[in-house]
Amino acid sequence: MKKLVLLNVVLVVSLLLAGVAYAADDFVATANAYFSGGTKNISAADLYDNLNDGDTDNDPYIISVRAAEDYAKGHIKGAVNVNVKEVFSAGNLATYPTDQQIVVVCYTGQNASWVTSGLRMLGYDAYNLLFGMSGWSANPEVYHHRFDAATVPDYPTTTEATVATGAYDLPAPLADTMAAALDTFFSGGPKYMKGADLYDNLNDGDTENDPYVISVRSAEDYAKGHIKGAVHMDPKTMWNAETLATIPNDREVVVYCYTGQTASQVATALNVLGYDAWNMASGMQAWSADPNVYVKRFNPDTVPDYPTEGTAGETAAAPATLPTTGGIAFPVQNLVLALGFATASAGAVLYRRNRS
């Protein structure tokens, strides 16, 4: 009977550790812990140098969240392909290493930024590949799609600041744990609003359907020009009760930055907190054609054109069986949960023996 009691105690502790329920304040604290140190990105040049320095021990684990057909055409050697809607499923989380860096890759760096933010808030050492495959390859069959400056409509901006005000309560988080909230959100896919759709909404004559717009660019660049009505927030310091109280919990929130990458990371945290947050696709570079306003944008002339593997790649042909997940290390919460299930089974067996 003592063995049974001990096993039951282990089971209870295991299950508690595996699924500790978060309150809204816990989600805020987790977001603040990540963003206060700045968003995590890696350039194509730095990733390439790492992968080719002759030391495989420091190589990161690379996750491609592009479509399977585009992954097959060309991807960074060694990258595994994971559907962005399934990236936070328990099964996939169990394959990501906890003892090495993770680099997430997409088309332009925006989808990967959504994922990177979520992985960071779960404790993984994750990085977004800046500009995705657009910044890695010059082969259009490989990068598939990227930002095109020729399509920018050049919508108006203002230098008149909008002060953030309000006294909104924090919304209810999407789930009781960070992992569950991320899986719930990502199962529907990242949320983007095109600049054209935002412009039409803000100028349709109906202010009641206007989203709340947040610029997470620097204060200096916000002052040079921003979307009318947008408030400025610093992604490093916005994760506190006072600032979050100014964000409406009853309407859409649109976040924008320079190229859509930082905004995606911020929008991830806002969504798991319970806000209806969207990234303005491609950021200010897709809104304004004025270099004094957009300040930074993707430049295809600087793309180094590093090698890839795949049917349209420049090195090896695509493997016969494309990997979809990989890795052998288990996050602590998955290991503890597995222990919990094991002890539960053992406890049941001992209980039946003691009864017989």
pLDDT at residue 20, as a whole number = 58
In whole angstroms, what is the distance from residue 199 CA to residue 210 CA? Answer: 10
220 and 165 in a common domain: yes
Q: What is the mean pLDDT of the chain?
A: 86
Residue 44: inside a domain: yes
Burial 22-54 (b: 16+ CB within 10 A, else e): bebeebbebbbebbeeebbbbebeebeeebeee
74 vs 140: CA distance, rounded Å: 10
Contact between 337 and 14 under an 8 Å Cβ cutoff? The reply is yes
Widest pairwise Cα distance in the chain: 81
Query: Does residue 79 contact residue 51 with C-beta atoms inside 8 Å?
Result: no
Instruction: For residue 117, report the phi and psi dihedrals to the nearest 5 degrees.
Output: -60, -45
The domain tally of the chain equals 2
Q: For the chain, what is the radius of gyration of the CA atoms?
A: 23
Asked if residue 276 and residue 164 are part of one domain, the reply reads yes
Please give the pLDDT value at position 62.
98
Residue 232 domain flag: yes
* Helix, strand, coil fractions of the chain, as percent rounded to 5: 45, 10, 45
Q: Give first-to-last CA distance, the chain, whole Å.
A: 13
Is 342 a domain residue?
no
Look at residue 5 and tell me if it is in a domain.
Answer: no
176, 293: one domain: yes
Residue 78 and residue 96 share a domain: yes
Are residues 258 and 203 both part of a single domain?
A: yes
161 and 193 co-located in one domain: yes
22: confidence class by pLDDT, cuts 50, 70, 90: confident
Across the range 220-247, mean pLDDT stands at 98
Residue 23 placed within a domain: no
Q: Would residue 183 count as lying in a domain? A: yes
pLDDT at 333 over 50: no
Task: Please state the pTM of the whole predicted model.
Answer: 0.84
Residues 310, 280: one domain? no
Domain annotation covers residue 348:
no
pLDDT confidence of 185, banded at 50, 70, 90? very high
List the domain range (segments joined by +) for residue 53: 38-146+304-325
Q: Are residues 197 and 133 in the same domain?
A: no
Are 246 and 185 part of one and the same domain?
yes
**12 part of a folded domain:** no
pLDDT in tens, 322-331: 333 333 233 4
**Do 220 and 138 belong together in one domain?**
no
194 and 248: one domain?
yes
Tracing tokens 């090495």 back to the chain, one arrives at 100
Q: 246: domain CATH number?
A: 3.40.250.10
Q: Which residues pair with 256 in a beta bridge?
A: 215
| Residue 239 and residue 118 share a domain | no
What is the Cα–Cα distance from 176 to 51, expressed in whole angstroms? 38
Instruction: Report pLDDT digits (tens) over 41-85.
Output: 999 999 999 999 999 999 999 999 999 999 999 999 999 999 999
pLDDT band at 9 (very low <50, low <70, confident <90, very high): very low
